[in-house]
Each structure stands twice: as C-alpha cells, then as structure tokens.
Amino acid sequence: MLKNRRDAAIKVVNSLYAAEAAIDAALARAAELNTTLVNARIEARLSAIVGQDAFQGAADAFAALARARADIVETHNRLDETRVQIGLRTLMTGDSDGSGKTEPMAAETRRLRAVG
C-alpha cells in the first residue's frame, strides 16, 4: 500500500516539475517577446502608438503566465500538504541540476541491498 502511494507520488512530482519548468520557459519567452517589441519599435524610430495592440496582447499573455505560475506554486504547496496527509515522508533527494530543486528518487534507487 505504501509502495503504491510512493510510486503515485513520484509520478505526480515528475508531472508537477515538468509543468513548472514549462511555465517558467514560457514566461521567459514572453518576457523576451515584450522586450523585443519595445526595442524594435525604438530602433525603428516608430511612434509608441504603432503596434500598441500587439504589445498589449503580448503583455496580457505574460500576465496570464505569471498568474499560471502563481497557481502552479499553490498547487505545489497543496500537494506537499497532501503528501503529509497520506503518510509519505519527503520523496526528494539531491540537487542534481544546480537549480535548487530536488529531484524525485527513481524507483530503482529506493531499493536497498545489503553489501558485504
């Protein structure tokens, strides 16, 4: 029973991290787009009126992604509470990529063997 919960939790954590990474990547791209739009208008010496609708759409998309990031962070916190409710200890180990995030333990690393 505990093994099933742990395996399910690892799948959820992997999906959560993938969603977090996708939102962060989209935020970075949206920010890049907004910066490019502003700089391109300035470099082309165009009035601020030119392309304002497009800039507003890109800015709105960035704001929506920022809200999505806040929502996924809240999801992360709620899942941590759920983990405790179902009787699981922390399932993470290490900081493998330098991001500050811990990574889920692979199923193979959870099995312990006696060595002699």
- Tens of pLDDT, residue by residue over 19-53, are 999 999 999 999 999 999 999 999 999 999 999 99
Average of per-residue pLDDT across 71-75: 97
User: Is residue 105 predicted with pLDDT exceeding 70?
Assistant: no
Q: Do the Cβ atoms of 83 and 91 come closer than 8 Å?
A: yes
pTM value? Answer: 0.72
Q: Mean pLDDT across the stretch 12-21?
A: 96
Higher-pLDDT residue of 87, 70? 70
| Residues paired with residue 93 on neighbouring β-strands, in sequence order | 103
Q: Find the angle CA(10)-CA(14)-CA(16) to the nearest 5 degrees.
A: 115
pLDDT at 2: 85
Contact 92, 13 (CB under 8 A): yes
Q: Which residue has the higher pLDDT, 88 or 58?
A: 58
C-alpha distances out from residue 115 to 41, 93, 112, Å: 66, 22, 9
**Confidence at residue 60, expressed as pLDDT on a 0 to 100 scale:** 98
**Mean pLDDT, the chain, integer:** 84
Q: Which pLDDT tens digit goes with each residue over 82-102?
A: 998 988 876 554 444 555 555
